[in-house]
Amino acid sequence: MPLKKKTFFDHFQEAWNSRSRSTMKPWVKYVRLFRSALDKLPRAKDEVWQGMANDVMLEKMLTSKPPFLYSCLGSCSPWNNEVVDYLQKNVSKNLMIVGYKSVNGRSVTGYTADQMDEVIIWPGVKLTPKHYVIVKETSSIIVHLILGHGAYFADDPAKSHQYTVTDLNDDTRVIYYTKVLLGNVSHQSAPSTELVSAPLPYHSVVGKLNGFTEYIVYRYGQALPYLKITYTA
């Protein structure tokens, strides 16, 4: 691959940001290798941070109640103050600082080209807004997000559609028809950020939110992808 003035990571990030399955296909083996190596590194146990200039549309999405899917390969810092100091000096005084808690990020400190502390978050994490704070002095926003543990499934494809991303090459989306072993089901009446597994003696969790029924399992062996469905909407 001719790198020219761009680094290997620049090319990879461009392919990732394209949201095109055909563009990402040549990178699949590298992604698997990278994930395999990343899984061998220590987990970041504390909240990790990202920041950017304040964005009204992003603020609206992050502070809304429904969970959403983290769909990028994210680089974070374990230190809130480092993110704020850097952005205020180089980007803007009016910032959006996002904290991610319990996202199973992997610490790559000591394995990168610079000496900064760094944590990588893998895409596909389902996040729920926990709370946010407005810093009056700068009108900056601090948003705290928490991981929604488990794999989520729905019996209504309209719900699954909410978590899909459009392929920019052909405007298609993908969902999977999956067989799920629910076993003994725990019925929940309200969303909870405290559950990290099905409560004993149950094997799965079922709940309703905004008119949709969602099924949550916490073990890989309970779900088997059966059909890949490509569609336009």
Same domain? 45 vs 32: no
Token look-up 């004993």 returns: 200
Instruction: Determine the structural domain holding residue 27 and report its residue range.
Output: 1-36
Return the number of other C-beta atoms located less than 10 Å from residue 217's C-beta: 21
Predicted confidence band of residue 84 (pLDDT cuts 50, 70, 90): confident
Q: What is the pLDDT of residue 229?
A: 94
Identify whether residues 141 and 221 lie together within a single domain: no
Give dist(CA 84, CA 98) in Å, integer. Answer: 11
Burial of 52 (0-12, 13-18, 19+ CB in 10 A): middle
Residue, of 196 and 208, whose pLDDT is higher: 208
At residue 224, the pLDDT reads: 93
Mean predicted lDDT score pLDDT of the chain:
81
Q: Are residues 90 and 142 in the same domain?
A: yes
pLDDT for the residue 155: 93
The reply to whether 188 and 157 lie within a common domain is yes
Domain end call among 147, 164, 197: 147
Categorize the per-residue pLDDT at 1 as very low, low, confident or very high, splitting at 50, 70 and 90: very low
Question: Does residue 9 sit in the same domain as residue 64?
Answer: no
Give the angle subtended at the CA of 115 by the CAs of 113 and 120, to the nearest 5°: 75
| pLDDT range class, residue 179, cuts 50, 70, 90 | very high
Q: pTM score, two decimals?
A: 0.61
User: Does residue 21 or residue 1 have the better pLDDT?
Assistant: 21
Percent share of the chain, pLDDT over 70: 84
Of 68-72, 127-131, 204-208, where does the model show the most confidence?
A: 204-208
Span 165-172, average pLDDT: 82
CATH number for position 47? 3.90.176.10
Q: What distance in Å separates the CA atoms of residue 109 and residue 102, rounded to the nearest whole number?
A: 18
Higher pLDDT pick, 80 / 155: 155
Confidence bin at 170 (pLDDT 50/70/90): confident
The answer for residues whose C-beta is within 8 angstroms of residue 107's C-beta and 6 or more apart is: 41, 42, 43, 44, 78, 117, 118, 119
Structural domain ending residue among the three candidates 107, 128, 147: 147
Tell me: pLDDT of 163 over 50: yes
Q: Are 7 and 67 in a shared domain?
A: no
Q: Which residues pair with 230 in a beta bridge?
A: 174
Can you tell me the mean pLDDT for 213-217? Answer: 91
**Stretch 164-185: mean pLDDT:** 89
Say how many domains are in the chain.
3
Q: Does 25 lie in the same domain as 67?
A: no
Which of 34, 213, 215, 192 is CA-nearest to residue 123? 34
- Give the residue from 147, 169, 201 where a domain finishes: 147
Compute the distance between CA of residue 30 and CA of residue 11 in angstroms, rounded to an integer: 12
pLDDT surpassing 90 at residue 154: yes
Which residue from 7, 125, 33, 127 is spatially nearest to 73, judged by alpha carbons? 125
